[in-house]
Structure 1
């Protein structure tokens, strides 16, 4: 299990993401703004929405290892299946000692399935 889960959704609104979260979790609070970030809690898990972090891409971060998904890719696939928007995620956990190696390597989930892409955000 990863310590957290983060995915990037293309052209997705926090309202769309919130509806998906309400289907996945038993209890989700409403989005609460904190500066430029929206936050909520889903079954006790802290969730953050960072809108438009890279063009039309927004970040959805689950600050817990107790999510329904074992890793970012499982979450990205579930998000794509529910929302129908392109989703990107890191191919695996990242450690600070890795430096910049592989920093631009991402996984894309879309109608064609899962593919590797180079993405410089």
Structure 2
């Protein structure tokens, strides 16, 4: 099932490098980011992109606010990003809702630079 948007967390990379990957993956020119504090926005055709610098510690958030991406799920995008960028990339295990409980909120998928996949516990909020 295709997700309505895509969000991944990228470690040890920067917005410029991620922009080159996105331009290649989306077959578009590199966009110009508009910065406001730690959050930057740009538009790849009909796909709005949001980059949140150090969203969780050393991890940067990339949000693609569209279902019109080459990836149906966060995991597909994370795998593509890790393979291209050669860094660790994390994403949610799937759609999460409050009714799912807090324990599931801390369960994440991590794609390593070698594209191996593991399920991890990642506390992204203060307890």
Task: Give the Cα separation in 1 of the matches to 2:115 and 2:37.
Answer: 36
Which has the larger displacement, 26-35 or 80-89? Answer: 26-35
Q: Any conservation in 2 of the 1:106–1:117 contact (CA below 8 Å)?
A: yes
Q: Offset of 1:101 from its aligned partner?
A: 3.9
Distance 1:96 1:47 in 2: 25
**DSSP 3-state at the match of 1:78:** helix
Q: 1:29 Cα shift?
A: 2.0
C-alpha displacement of 1:84:
0.3
**Which ranges of 4 or more aligned residues in structure 1 deviate by more than 6 Å?**
none
CA distance in 2, matches of 1:19, 1:32: 16
CA contact (8 A) 1:76 1:88 kept: yes
| 1:26–1:43 Cα contact (<8 Å) kept | no
Structure 1 regions of 5+ residues with no counterpart?
none
- Among 66, 69, 80, the alignment partner of 1:67 is 69
Aligned length: 121
Mind listing any 5+ residue stretches in structure 2 that lack a counterpart? none
- Structure 1 distance, partners of 2:15, 2:55, is 13
1:5 alignment partner in structure 2: 6
TM-score by length of 2: 0.89
Match of 1:103 in 2: 105
Residue 114 of structure 1 is matched in structure 2 by 117
In the other structure, the counterpart of 1:86 is 88
Shift of 1:37: 0.7
Per the alignment, residue 30 of structure 1 pairs with 32
Name the Cα RMSD after superposition: 1.3
**Matched-pair contact (CA < 8 Å) for 1:11–1:56:** yes
Query: What is the TM-score with the length of structure 1 in the denominator?
Result: 0.93
Aligned-pair CA distance for 1:10: 0.6
